[in-house]
Amino acid sequence: MPDSAAASFQLDARLEADTLSVGDLPLSRLLLMNDSRFPWLILVPRRAGVCELIDLSEADHAALSTEIRQVSGALRDLVPADKLNVAALGNMVPQLHVHVIARTRGDVAWPGPVWGVGRAEPYDAATAERLVAGLCARLGL
Protein backbone atom coordinates (compact mmCIF):
# COMPACT_ATOMS: atom_id res chain seq x y z
CA MET A 1 0.00 0.00 0.00
CA PRO A 2 1.36 3.46 -0.78
CA ASP A 3 2.60 5.40 2.24
CA SER A 4 -0.07 8.09 1.81
CA ALA A 5 -2.87 5.50 1.91
CA ALA A 6 -1.35 3.83 4.97
CA ALA A 7 -0.91 7.14 6.73
CA SER A 8 -4.47 8.32 6.05
CA PHE A 9 -6.33 5.07 6.93
CA GLN A 10 -8.16 5.25 10.23
CA LEU A 11 -10.37 2.50 11.60
CA ASP A 12 -13.90 3.71 12.35
CA ALA A 13 -14.30 4.30 16.09
CA ARG A 14 -17.36 2.04 16.29
CA LEU A 15 -15.49 -0.88 14.76
CA GLU A 16 -12.56 -0.26 17.06
CA ALA A 17 -14.81 -0.18 20.14
CA ASP A 18 -16.68 -3.39 19.29
CA THR A 19 -13.79 -5.60 18.18
CA LEU A 20 -10.48 -7.19 19.05
CA SER A 21 -7.60 -6.86 16.63
CA VAL A 22 -6.38 -10.03 14.92
CA GLY A 23 -3.81 -8.51 12.56
CA ASP A 24 -3.20 -7.02 9.14
CA LEU A 25 -3.56 -8.99 5.93
CA PRO A 26 -2.00 -7.54 2.77
CA LEU A 27 -5.05 -5.31 2.15
CA SER A 28 -7.33 -5.53 5.16
CA ARG A 29 -7.22 -5.16 8.89
CA LEU A 30 -8.76 -8.30 10.40
CA LEU A 31 -10.92 -7.88 13.49
CA LEU A 32 -12.81 -10.25 15.79
CA MET A 33 -16.21 -8.98 16.89
CA ASN A 34 -16.15 -9.11 20.68
CA ASP A 35 -19.36 -11.14 20.97
CA SER A 36 -18.79 -14.76 21.93
CA ARG A 37 -22.29 -15.78 20.81
CA PHE A 38 -21.18 -15.62 17.18
CA PRO A 39 -17.70 -16.36 15.77
CA TRP A 40 -17.61 -13.15 13.72
CA LEU A 41 -14.72 -11.64 11.81
CA ILE A 42 -14.56 -8.30 10.03
CA LEU A 43 -12.19 -7.35 7.22
CA VAL A 44 -11.58 -3.62 6.76
CA PRO A 45 -9.59 -2.67 3.64
CA ARG A 46 -6.94 -0.17 4.70
CA ARG A 47 -8.00 2.42 2.16
CA ALA A 48 -9.06 5.88 3.29
CA GLY A 49 -12.47 7.12 2.22
CA VAL A 50 -13.67 3.83 0.74
CA CYS A 51 -17.34 3.11 1.46
CA GLU A 52 -18.42 0.68 -1.25
CA LEU A 53 -16.90 -2.36 -2.93
CA ILE A 54 -17.09 -0.50 -6.25
CA ASP A 55 -14.81 2.19 -4.77
CA LEU A 56 -11.90 -0.28 -4.66
CA SER A 57 -9.49 -0.59 -7.56
CA GLU A 58 -9.76 -3.84 -9.50
CA ALA A 59 -6.56 -5.06 -7.85
CA ASP A 60 -7.85 -4.23 -4.36
CA HIS A 61 -11.21 -5.83 -5.12
CA ALA A 62 -9.44 -9.03 -6.17
CA ALA A 63 -7.24 -8.90 -3.06
CA LEU A 64 -10.29 -8.46 -0.82
CA SER A 65 -12.01 -11.42 -2.48
CA THR A 66 -8.94 -13.56 -1.81
CA GLU A 67 -8.81 -12.41 1.81
CA ILE A 68 -12.51 -13.21 2.30
CA ARG A 69 -11.88 -16.76 1.04
CA GLN A 70 -8.82 -17.18 3.27
CA VAL A 71 -10.51 -15.80 6.37
CA SER A 72 -13.67 -17.84 5.74
CA GLY A 73 -11.61 -21.01 5.45
CA ALA A 74 -9.63 -20.26 8.59
CA LEU A 75 -12.80 -19.55 10.57
CA ARG A 76 -14.47 -22.74 9.34
CA ASP A 77 -11.36 -24.72 10.37
CA LEU A 78 -11.56 -23.31 13.91
CA VAL A 79 -15.26 -23.31 14.80
CA PRO A 80 -18.34 -25.31 13.89
CA ALA A 81 -20.45 -23.71 11.18
CA ASP A 82 -23.61 -24.78 9.43
CA LYS A 83 -23.36 -21.66 7.27
CA LEU A 84 -20.84 -18.88 6.74
CA ASN A 85 -22.53 -15.50 6.33
CA VAL A 86 -20.49 -12.97 4.33
CA ALA A 87 -21.85 -9.44 4.03
CA ALA A 88 -20.84 -5.84 3.41
CA LEU A 89 -23.68 -3.68 4.72
CA GLY A 90 -22.40 -0.37 6.04
CA ASN A 91 -25.71 1.14 7.09
CA MET A 92 -24.39 1.99 10.57
CA VAL A 93 -20.67 2.23 9.78
CA PRO A 94 -20.05 3.63 6.29
CA GLN A 95 -16.36 2.62 6.17
CA LEU A 96 -16.12 -0.41 3.88
CA HIS A 97 -15.96 -3.57 5.96
CA VAL A 98 -16.92 -7.17 5.29
CA HIS A 99 -18.47 -9.44 7.92
CA VAL A 100 -17.64 -13.16 7.96
CA ILE A 101 -19.84 -14.90 10.52
CA ALA A 102 -19.90 -18.60 11.38
CA ARG A 103 -23.53 -19.53 12.04
CA THR A 104 -24.95 -22.67 13.60
CA ARG A 105 -28.53 -23.87 13.70
CA GLY A 106 -28.45 -23.58 17.49
CA ASP A 107 -27.24 -19.97 17.74
CA VAL A 108 -29.55 -17.44 19.40
CA ALA A 109 -30.33 -15.63 16.14
CA TRP A 110 -30.75 -18.62 13.79
CA PRO A 111 -32.05 -18.45 11.12
CA GLY A 112 -32.32 -14.66 11.19
CA PRO A 113 -29.55 -12.08 11.02
CA VAL A 114 -27.24 -11.55 14.01
CA TRP A 115 -27.70 -7.79 14.11
CA GLY A 116 -29.86 -6.44 16.92
CA VAL A 117 -30.30 -9.76 18.72
CA GLY A 118 -29.80 -9.32 22.46
CA ARG A 119 -26.66 -7.91 24.03
CA ALA A 120 -23.14 -8.81 23.05
CA GLU A 121 -21.41 -11.28 25.35
CA PRO A 122 -17.70 -10.37 25.30
CA TYR A 123 -15.12 -13.13 25.02
CA ASP A 124 -13.19 -14.11 28.11
CA ALA A 125 -9.49 -13.38 27.63
CA ALA A 126 -8.40 -17.02 27.28
CA THR A 127 -11.00 -17.87 24.63
CA ALA A 128 -10.25 -14.72 22.64
CA GLU A 129 -6.52 -15.43 22.78
CA ARG A 130 -7.03 -19.03 21.54
CA LEU A 131 -9.24 -17.92 18.66
CA VAL A 132 -6.91 -15.09 17.63
CA ALA A 133 -3.88 -17.40 17.85
CA GLY A 134 -5.62 -20.02 15.71
CA LEU A 135 -6.55 -17.43 13.10
CA CYS A 136 -3.04 -15.99 13.06
CA ALA A 137 -1.51 -19.45 12.63
CA ARG A 138 -3.82 -20.32 9.73
CA LEU A 139 -3.43 -16.94 8.03
CA GLY A 140 0.32 -16.51 8.56
CA LEU A 141 -0.07 -13.42 10.75
Count of other CB atoms within 10 angstroms of residue 20: 15
pLDDT digit string (tens) for 79-116?
A: 999 999 999 998 899 999 999 999 999 999 999 999 98
Do 139 and 71 meet the contact criterion of CB atoms below 8 Å apart? yes
Is the whole-model pTM more than 0.75? Answer: yes
Tell me how far CA of residue 94 lies from CA of 25, 31, 39, 73, in angstroms: 21, 16, 22, 26
Find all residues with CB under 8 Å of 61, minimum gap 6, and list them: 53
Q: What average pLDDT does this structure show over 40-52?
A: 96
- pLDDT above 90 covers a percentage of the chain that reads 91
- Domain 3-139 sits in CATH at 3.30.428.10
Longest dimension (CA), the chain: 45
pLDDT, residue 1, reads 46
Task: Return the pLDDT at 90.
Answer: 86
Give SS3 for 67: helix
